[in-house]
Structures are given as structure tokens and as C-alpha cells.
Chain A
């Protein structure tokens, strides 16, 4: 049971701004993902919630109580570190038991609790091993078990999957999702991987340079990016962005002409997702020579160059052409996102 509220939280080191005026309420049991490139302040935000970093300004409230001056141990949070931070001198059992031991909970209950936590992450067979004798994925699960053993109010995870290989990442991701559903504890999860954010989150916070860019559900963020940064960060491939001019409801850029836009005249940045567009023989809004062709298995990615930018569209997997062939891409006005040419902010709905 814990609602977390951040009000005007900032972190500065001298003149460097780590996090700038972060305002957010995280309701109880929400799975919130902080997403952004490295150095965007997402880890700093989490560390301030954990109590490992003091905010320069603002208040952090857990369950309505200001925790700014509380030590990490008094905040009832559990954290999974990117490097796992397992205690190398203790075996798996002792590692998981450690939070119970230092908090002085009844020793008679330890064994049962440790067994339950280790069963949840399928570690039962490894309890007597030292961390050095475990694989990366197993170490990761020990860290998870150590975090859940004490049933904390808040769960913090700092890029827990980034040290795993791609295959293991997918299965551990599923495990974390299932675990968070079972535990129903407020969780804050930091990642730079937008796929993790999309798959795990109830709500995503996209950050850049210490500033929150957008807060919303994964679908909202995907379908209605608030600005060009979010648009270019979310999705694989990222949203195509083209700079051009609108005159009389028609967007014009080299090789490009998109009519039917309900927007005033002037320079804009127009974006669309590769999977929304359609590759046609002719009659499309873009007609240009193919710059590159990528076979993805389930589809073929066709890219052309518009101005300086690379613009891609997803074609059928049977689509075949040569580099340099002329191609036509259909981009109806309703799949277009428009952004201010100067600020990058979203225009219209």
C-alpha cells in the first residue's frame, strides 16, 4: 500500500541539472517505467526515491509522508541494482535473507520467507551457491528475490535487464511482469529500452536532460507522442520525421506532397510510423529512389532519403526491388503527426 508523490523535485550538481522540477503522483500498485536515454535523470530520480541521493529541491512523499530526511532503510523500499550488488561473501540463501536479518525480524520466519521468495524466481536449487558460481540470469533472480523477500511497500528496479543477453532478457522480462502482477506492489522501473517500457508499464514517463517529456500509458505514448523527442525515441523503427512547409493544407518536402492536413501555413515537422504507411507502385505521397532495402523476415523495410533524413516504410514481406528503383509510399493525412518546426511540440490532436 503505497502511493508515491514527487512534487517539484530537482537535483543539481553545481550548475549541472540532473533532474528538473519533477512532478508526478504514482498511485498504489502502479507499474511505472522511467524511460530515456542515458544521462536523462531517470536513475537519479529513482535514487532520490530510494534515499540514496538527496533532492536539491522539492518533496518526495510515500503514503502522504514526506520522506526527504529519512534514511533508505526507513523508507520501506526495495531496490534491484543494474549490477545486482549481491554480497559476494554470502551464499544465495544468506543474500536473500539479509534484509530480514538486518531488520531484526523474527528468525523463526526467515526460512519460510526465503523459500517462498526463492521459489517465486525459481532459485530453489541454488540456495547454497555463492554469487560467483551463478550465471548472470541467476544472479539477477537472486537480486529480485532479495528485493521481494521482505514484502516492501515500493519496488525500485534500476535497469535490471541490461546486463543480460537478449534471449534471457525476454524471459526475465516476462518473469518480472508476472511477478509484479502477483505481488501488486507499487513499482518504479528504470530503463533505456523502449520495448521493456512498452511491455511492462502501466504508465511510462519519458525523460530527456532531466526534464519529463511525456507521461502516459504505453499506447498513448506510442500513438500520440507529445513531441519529436518522444516520437523518435519510442517505436522500432522510430517514427519518421521530415521537415517541410505547409501551404494551403498541403505539406511539401523534397519528393513529398501530402494534402488534406488541417493546419495553418508555415514550417512544420511531419512524422508517421513506418508500419502505418503503405508501399505502392505509384500514386503515393512520396515518390523517390530506394536508398536501402532491409529484409526483416515478417516484412521488408524500404527506406528513401528525404532532405537529410532517412524515411522508412514497412512493405509486405514479399516486396522485392533494387536499390535505386523508384518507389511510391502512401501516407494518408490521418496517419500523420505534426510537430512545431521550432520547439518540436505536437500540433493538433
Chain B
């Protein structure tokens, strides 16, 4: 039984729960609204006459005979071939995560184990580059990319995203590595490992939650990026986010906006799955080092 001091007054309990519920609705509302609206026609979801049309689907019913329609999805995925953008996004994300994690783990490990003073300045410089708005870098990239004929293709975008991403992964992984005692490397080395074997057999397994967390963050950065992908990719190579922006840009054809809405829902869904799947690692990664292991 909880002691008297630990027991929360019923009023406070209700208030706290109520607050959580209200907050949850507020936070989830844009997603829920978009999800609901994605099954409507444009005249309902963007109704000027009566906003409740978005809920009831009056015009959708008039057009398709049902209050829900998959027309937006059909338009986006089949007519506009949104799946190409999905594939492009996953190619970009995969290689961005792979490259930045490889460089990040090796670099972060090296920096965390290095006794030299310049490591500090390297990290500070990395932080400065991280603080820069990506768009300022893109402006500088554009001209050489045009001249060298590298503009518009996925590899270029991947390299640029890695470059923008790398300071962050380096920082994050560096701090994870710093929480791992040096004795662990040393013990592995005395036990018979080379430096790299110590890294692979001993450090990386301990680091796993940190690698997953960092990987997820850099995945999200690549997945959500607009500034770089919209400037550097040709129309046929677009990833999801600039593709959605392009749908929105063609509002003079009725219904195209609904392609964007459907595409937004399509782009958000995988993120939910991803975060749910990795949530345990993420939580342990975010709190790693908070308590002595």
C-alpha cells in the first residue's frame, strides 16, 4: 500500500490525466486531421463554405457516392507515380545513414580516445558547421555541380546530406563513446585484440543503442530534408518531400492538392512504424551514461 505521503489526491490525479489527454489531442490533431482529410475530395477538405464538410465529406459523397474516397492516394501513387519518390527517398536515406554512421562511429571513437588537444577544436568546428543553415551551403554547391554535370542525381544529394549530417553524428557518437570507460578498450587489447578488434568486439556491442539512436536521427534528417533535396534533385529524381511540395505547387488542377495530402500521410506512416520498432533502443540510447552501468 502506498503511504499517505505518496498518495496523490484524487482531484490532482484527474487534473493530471485530463491535461495529458488534452495535450495528446492537441499534439496529434494535425496528423489526425490530415489523415481523415486525405480520404476526402479537395472541395471538402479545403471547403471555404463550411469547414464541417471536411468532417462529413458532403462533396465526396456527392462525387463518389461514399463519404470516403481513395482518389487522392490513387492520384498520387498511380497517376503521379509517387512510388518513385518513395524509392528515391529510401535510397537517399539508406546511403546517408550508412555513410554517416560509418564515418561517425570510426571518427567519434577515434576522437573520444585521442589524447590530442586538437580533437576539441575539431569538434567545435564541426559544431559551427552544424549550426549553419543548410541552404547557405547549397547556394555554394549549385554552381560547381552544374559545371561538373553532377546536378540532379541522387549520389550528389547523398554526399551533400552526409556532409551536413556528419558534424551531428560525430558529436553524438563521440559523447556516447566517451561514456564507455577506456579500461574496456585497454582490457580488450591486453586480452589479445588489435585496436580495431577491440572496437568491433567490445566497444560496438556496448555502443549499439547509441548507434541506433544516432542512425535514426540522421535517417530523419535525410528523410525530412527539403532545402537540399529540392535544390539539388532533378524532377525525375525527386524524393518524397520535394515531390509533395511539387504537388502543392500545381493547385490550378483541382484534386492535385489532395495528392499532396495523401502523399503526406504516406510519408508519415513509415516513421511511426520505425519509431515504434526502435523505441526501446532509442530510450536506452538517449539515457545512456545517465547511470553507471
**Chain A residues close to B by CB (< 8 Å):** 50-52, 71-73, 77-79, 81-83, 85, 87-89, 98-99, 102-103, 132, 146, 150, 156
Contact = CB atoms under 8 A, between A and B. Distances in A.
Given A50-B186, A85-B181, A102-B188, 13 more contacts: A51-B190, A72-B189, A73-B189, A73-B192, A81-B183, A81-B186, A83-B183, A87-B205, A89-B205, A99-B191, A102-B193, A146-B191, A150-B191
A88 B192 contact: no
A229 to B, nearest CB: 29
Contacts of A71: 189, 194
B206 A102 contact: no
A98 B183 CA distance: 15
Contacts of A85: 181, 183-184, 186-187
Contacts of A51: 189-190
A156 B188 CA distance: 14
A185 to B, nearest CB: 15
A120 to B, nearest CB: 18
Contacts, number: 63
A83 B192 contact: no
Contacts of B190: 50-52, 72-73, 77-79, 156
11 contacts: A51-B189, A72-B190, A73-B194, A77-B190, A78-B190, A83-B181, A85-B187, A88-B206, A102-B191, A102-B201, A103-B192
B234 interface: no
Nearest to A78: B190
Contact of A132 (B188, B189, B293): B293
Interface string B202-213: 100110000000
A203 B184 CA distance: 30
Nearest to A52: B186
Interface in B153-192: 181, 183-184, 186-192
A60 B40 CA distance: 80
B192 A99 contact: yes
Contacts of B201: 98, 102
B236 interface: no
B191 A98 contact: yes
Which interface residue of B191, B202, B293 has the most chain A CB atoms within 10 A? B191
B197 interface: yes
Contacts of A156: 190
A144 B244 CA distance: 61
Closest 6 CB pairs of A and B: A85-B187, A85-B183, A99-B191, A103-B192, A89-B205, A102-B192
Contacts of A89: 205-206
Nearest to B201: A102
A81 B192 CA distance: 15
A81 B181 CA distance: 11
Nearest to B186: A52
B154 to A, nearest CB: 36
Contacts of A77: 190
A83 B148 CA distance: 55
Among A71, A77, A156, residue most surrounded by chain B Cβ atoms (within 10 Å): A71
A88 B193 contact: no
Contacts of A50: 186, 190
Contacts of B202: 87
A197 B172 CA distance: 43
B18 to A, nearest CB: 39
B200 to A, nearest CB: 10
A146 B184 CA distance: 13
A88 B293 contact: yes
A50 B187 CA distance: 10
Contacts of B194: 71, 73
Contacts of B197: 102
A81 B187 contact: yes
A25 B193 CA distance: 28
Interface in B99-130: none
A93 to B, nearest CB: 15
Interface string B238-274: 0000000000000000000000000000000000000
A71 B191 CA distance: 11
Nearest to B204: A89
Contacts of B189: 51-52, 71-73
Contacts of A87: 184, 187-188, 202, 205-206
A73 B183 contact: no
B47 to A, nearest CB: 57
B211 to A, nearest CB: 13
Nearest to A79: B190
A78 B197 CA distance: 17
Contacts of B187: 79, 81, 85, 87
